[in-house]
């Protein structure tokens, strides 16, 4: 039986990250008579989630001044929800929408903090994120980059590492001990680390495209558009935040 595997950690379900999704034959039995997923479905759901994120980001921007309490609280909430979504056996649109709202508050707050420190940096990061997305899409469509098991392991490992180091950095800052130097300092090694993380973050788009293409080809149900749009949202936010960090280092 053919197995439709999810390349992106945001798309996994069942026993945990990396678990295979049901086989094509099984999907057809489970969703007999259901509308099938199309690329247009993914586009519309993605636009909807980005609208939620954008509105929430506006509120996060307005609620954030010199401190980052709003960004911190919403970021931790979004992180908790991401695990609930990732390990859920079923697609849960309500959780995904709430995640987009919390992620928007987080992104808006962080963006305001960076913009206060470095005027114009948000526009640069947004433009850069768009360029990265288009570049990865062209590379995927041309066949120059394809999702592989090795790429998947690298992307998942890097994502988990970034989350872990980020939480450690927040803990150190909250307790007044300090921060993780290599993550934030504008040293050559710190800049090189940010470039490396950004490259891996960009590769998540390749995993996104591979999942969407495979799901459409396998006749997955229309509701899988929620999972696909969620994965794209995670990818966009990751690339955007890494660009903010890198540009901030370069302007120190």
According to the model, what pLDDT value does residue 174 have? 66
Residue 25 has pLDDT above 70, yes or no: no
Contact 240, 126 (CB under 8 A): yes
According to the model, what pLDDT value does residue 3 have? 32
User: What residue spans define the domains of the chain?
Assistant: 34-250
According to the model, what pLDDT value does residue 177 have? 73
Triad 96, 133, 44: Cα angle to 5°: 45
What are the beta bridge partners of residue 36? 221
Which tokens go with 102? Answer: 């919390």
Spatial CA neighbour of 239 closest among 127, 156, 120: 127
Which tokens go with 203? Answer: 């590769």
pLDDT bin (cut points 50, 70, 90) of residue 67 is low
What are the beta bridge partners of residue 3? 23
Spatial CA neighbour of 79 closest among 6, 21, 159, 157: 159
Q: Which long-range contacts (CB under 8 A, 24 or more apart) does 6-9 make?
A: 6/211, 7/147, 7/151, 7/152, 7/207, 7/210, 7/211, 8/152, 8/155, 8/204, 8/207, 8/208, 8/210, 8/211, 8/231, 8/235, 9/86, 9/155, 9/156, 9/159
Question: 57-66 pLDDT, tens per residue?
Answer: 999 999 887 6
Q: Indicate the pTM of the whole model.
A: 0.82
According to the model, what pLDDT value does residue 58 have? 94
Contact 206, 147 (CB under 8 A): yes
């Amino acid at each position: 039986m053919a197995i439709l595997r999810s390349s992106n950690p945001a798309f996994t379900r069942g026993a945990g990250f990396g678990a295979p999704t049901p086989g094509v034959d099984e999907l057809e039995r489970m969703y007999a008579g259901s509308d099938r997923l199309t690329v247009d479905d993914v586009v519309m759901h993605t636009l909807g989630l980005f609208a939620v994120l954008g509105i929430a980001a506006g509120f996060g921007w307005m609620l954030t001044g010199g401190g980052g309490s709003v960004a911190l609280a919403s970021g931790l909430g979004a992180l908790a929800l991401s695990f609930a979504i990732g390990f859920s056996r079923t697609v849960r649109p309500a959780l995904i929408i709430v995640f987009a709202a919390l992620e928007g508050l987080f992104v808006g707050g962080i963006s305001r903090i960076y913009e206060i420190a470095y005027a114009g940096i948000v526009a640069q990061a947004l433009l850069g994120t768009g360029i990265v997305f288009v570049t990865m899409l062209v590379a995927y469509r041309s066949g120059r980059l394809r999702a592989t098991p090795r790429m998947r392991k690298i992307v998942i490992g890097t994502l988990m590492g970034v989350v872990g180091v980020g939480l450690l950095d927040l803990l150190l800052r909250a307790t007044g001990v300090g921060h993780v130097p290599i993550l934030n300092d504008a040293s050559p090694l710190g800049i090189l680390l940010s470039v490396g993380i950004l490259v891996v973050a960009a590769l998540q788009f390749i995993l996104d495209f591979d999942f969407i293409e495979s799901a459409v080809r396998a006749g997955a149900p229309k509701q899988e558009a929620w999972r696909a749009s969620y994965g794209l949202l995670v990818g966009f936010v990751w690339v955007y935040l890494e660009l903010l960090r890198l540009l901030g280092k370069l302007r120190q």
